[in-house]
């Protein structure tokens, strides 16, 4: 959450002439409900199942970059599935930088919307600690703090030329 997945995903898709799909937006369009509405009405477990189901459906689509929410890799063996079915990128960012980015749009984030500033920072630290092992399994791990588009493109190009 807040690491730049959508921003860099769109740039990479344009560069490769691929389609870009933000999984959360895809789910919103398909269900007609916001992520906040799904969380509030159906709960996180329901959302995680929906997220996994839709991620798997996208497997049938070629030439796409998919940006998944921060929790997606941590449920239903999604990280292994993504690694087996594509190339995964973890945009790594420290908790203070994530906090700075998220505090500006917390109302749009169901997992932090009702938290105080100190609770948000604590949540980010704990979440990174819990999810880090999943994220680190990505094919490419990039420090996204102060990451330029040029540097991002170089890292991806180098990886693609090595496989």
Full DSSP string of 126-138 = HHHHHHHHHHTTS
Entry pTM: 0.88
Q: What is the pLDDT of residue 153?
A: 87
Sequential DSSP letters for 95-119: HHHHHHHHTTSGGG-TTTTT--HHH
What's the pLDDT band for 44 if we cut at 50, 70, 90?
A: very high
Nearest to 86 by CA among 146, 18, 24: 18
Interval 45-98: pLDDT, tens: 999 999 999 999 999 899 999 999 989 999 999 999 999 999 999 999 999 999
Q: What is the pLDDT of residue 133?
A: 96
Q: What is the pLDDT of residue 136?
A: 97
Q: What is the pLDDT of residue 135?
A: 97
Q: What does the chain come to in residues?
A: 163
Q: What is the pLDDT of residue 159?
A: 94
Q: Where are the domains of the chain?
A: 5-152
Q: Which two tokens mark 112?
A: 């932090």
Phi and psi at 130, nearest 5°, equal: -70, -40
Q: What is the pLDDT of residue 107?
A: 65
Interval 96-149: pLDDT, tens: 999 988 877 766 776 787 888 899 899 899 999 999 999 999 999 999 999 998
Q: What is the pLDDT of residue 113?
A: 78
Cα-Cα-Cα-Cα torsion 75, 80, 82, 88, nearest 10 degrees, comes to 110
CATH 1.20.58.220 correct for 5-152: no
* Burial class, 2, CB count within 10 angstroms (exposed 0-12 / middle 13-18 / buried 19+): buried
């Amino acid at each position: 959450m807040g690491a730049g997945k959508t921003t860099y995903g769109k740039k990479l898709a344009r560069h490769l002439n691929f389609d870009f799909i933000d999984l959360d937006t895809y789910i919103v369009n398909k269900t007609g409900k916001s992520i906040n509405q799904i969380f509030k009405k159906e709960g996180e477990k329901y959302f995680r199942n929906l997220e996994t189901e839709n991620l798997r459906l996208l497997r049938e689509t070629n030439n796409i970059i998919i940006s998944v929410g921060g929790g997606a890799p941590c449920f239903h063996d999604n990280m292994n599935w993504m690694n087996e079915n594509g190339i995964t990128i973890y945009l790594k960012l420290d908790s203070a930088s994530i906090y700075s980015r998220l505090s500006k749009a917390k109302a749009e984030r169901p997992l932090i919307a009702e938290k105080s500033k100190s609770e948000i920072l604590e949540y980010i630290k704990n979440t990174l600690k819990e999810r880090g092992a999943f994220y680190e399994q990505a094919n490419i791990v990039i420090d996204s703090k102060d990451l330029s588009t040029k540097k991002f493109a170089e890292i991806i190009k180098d990886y693609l030329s090595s496989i």
